[in-house]
Amino acid sequence: MIRKILKGAVLVLALGFAVEKLNDLRPVKAQSGCSVSSMVGAYTYVLNGSYFDNQNNQYGYSSSGHLNADGNGHFSGTETTDDGATLYQNDTVTGTYTINSDCSGSALFNLALDDAVNVDLNLTNNGKIINIIETDDGSQVVGAAQQQFPAL
- Quote the DSSP letter at residue 30: -
- Quote the DSSP letter at residue 38: G
Contact 98, 106 (CB under 8 A): yes
d(CA 85, CA 59): 8
pLDDT tens over the chain, length 152 residues:
555 554 554 444 444 544 455 455 555 444 569 999 999 999 999 999 999 988 999 999 999 999 999 999 999 999 999 988 899 999 999 999 999 999 999 999 999 998 899 999 999 999 999 999 999 999 999 999 999 977 65
Structural domain boundaries in the chain:
36-149
Q: How many CB atoms lie within 10 A of CB 116?
A: 11
Q: Distance between terminal CA atoms of the chain?
A: 67
The predicted model scores a pTM of: 0.75
d(CA 123, CA 111): 23
Q: Which CATH class is domain 36-149?
A: mainly beta
